[in-house]
Structure 1
Amino acid sequence: MSVVPPPLPQRDWAQRNRLWLLPLLAVLCLVVPLAIVGGVFSMIMKDMKSHPAYVEAVTRARNDPQVAAALGRPIETGMFVMGSVSGKDQGHAYLEIPLVGAKAEAKLTVAALNEGKGWEYATMLVRLADGREISLIPTTAPVLGESSGPPGCDRPASDADDSEASGDADDA
């Protein structure tokens, strides 16, 4: 009678493929954290680029004739937006947005605050590579009939100052 040897133990996948296991684990240890960091970075950039202050500033920059003349058309935004935002209905925003045109590049700086009454822009400035700055905040001219001089005065302060100075000269 012959003795049958016991069957050999079955090896699992890791035992059969030891040469592949270590490189596979090394790649996974690198790829998974990079994917997580990339996903978080992508979400932050998407959040910044959808913020009302960003959208308004980029729209104004693209529609401004001075910016278009300096940068050339089309005006695109760069990939990396720097700054911070908080809240879309209330909060603050401070952004530095790279702009790229056919002729040149620039940086759009935006500082805005919303206390529930809409976004108020303290700064919306395009800084060109040559050092020039273009403000995108419209300057408001005084409305006719409004006094820009001292209270109770119907004429501008510069006219009041001129008449007082000439009146003093006549008295002397």
Structure 2
Amino acid sequence: MSSPPPPLPGARPPGLRPPRNWLQRNLKWALPLFVLLIVGGWSLTSWMGLRQMSAPLESSEPYREALARAGRNPEVAAALGQPLRAKPFPFGSINQFGDGGGADMVIRIQGPHGSGKLDVRARRSQGRWSYPRLQAELPGRHAPVDLRDDRDRDCAILPGCR
């Protein structure tokens, strides 16, 4: 009677599964990590893009002036409380060319008692900003609060002032 030949070096005995590679061994944590990295990278890129787009608005004089006037207004302080802060990512546009330009923006604001928004339309002429529209829309109020001073109200009426 003859016996089977001895196995070749490196051959697997019959019935054993082949060894698993790295991906097969680590798929349970590698796949969720990969998805998390993709989603996190996309989110970070989107957030940085939005910050880059809103930076010119946040550094503009109409933005700073609107926040300062809202912080000084007693009606806004009563409705939202103090301190008042701007939420991220204002909406709008700003154009400056020489001594002229304009800005139209909406700034979301928040205080300890609630949140609202500032609606700003500003015009720049001869290096000075005027505000044809600068108002705060507050919760519980049907009419917006006018934040313009007398000079801005007069300038909004006169065509040569814009």
Q: TM-score range by the shorter chain?
A: 0.5 to 0.7
Specify the SS of the correspondent of 1:112: strand
Matches within 5 A, 1:115-134: 115-129=125-139, 130-134=141-145
Specify every segment of 5 or more residues in structure 2 that has no aligned partner in the other structure, as ranges.
1-8, 10-20, 152-162
Task: Give RMSD over aligned pairs.
Answer: 2.9
- After superposition, the C-alpha distances for 1:100-133 in whole angstroms (9 at most, x for unaligned) are 2333432211001224422221110112222132
Matches within 5 A, 1:23-62: 25-62=34-71
2:122 equivalent to 1:112: yes
Residue identity in the other structure for 1:72? G
Aligned to 1:137: 148
Specify the SS of the correspondent of 2:131: strand
1:70–1:26 distance in 2 versus 1, CA, 3 Å: closer
- After superposition, the C-alpha distances for 1:17-69 in whole angstroms (9 at most, x for unaligned) are 46456555544443333222111112223332211110011001101223223
1:24–1:111 distance in 2 versus 1, CA, 3 Å: same
Q: 2:113 aligns with which of 103, 114, 118?
A: 103
Matches within 5 A, 1:11-26: 16-17=22-23, 19-20=26-27, 25-26=34-35
- Comparing 120-129 and 44-53, the one that deviates more: 44-53
Q: Displacement, 1:138? A: 1.0
Question: Greater RCO between the two (CA within 8 Å, min separation 6)?
Answer: 2
Contact 2:50 2:89 in 1 (8 A): no
Normalising by structure 1, we get a TM-score of 0.60
Specify every segment of 5 or more residues in structure 1 that has no aligned partner in the other structure, as ranges.
6-14, 141-172
Specify the SS of the correspondent of 1:105: strand
Aligned to 2:104: 94
Q: 2:75 aligns with which of 44, 66, 75?
A: 66
Contact 1:51 1:88 in 2 (8 A): no
- How many residues get paired? 129
1:75–1:23 distance in 2 versus 1, CA, 3 Å: closer
Q: Percent identity?
A: 27
Rounded Cα–Cα distance in structure 1 between residues aligned with 2:75 and 2:97? 29
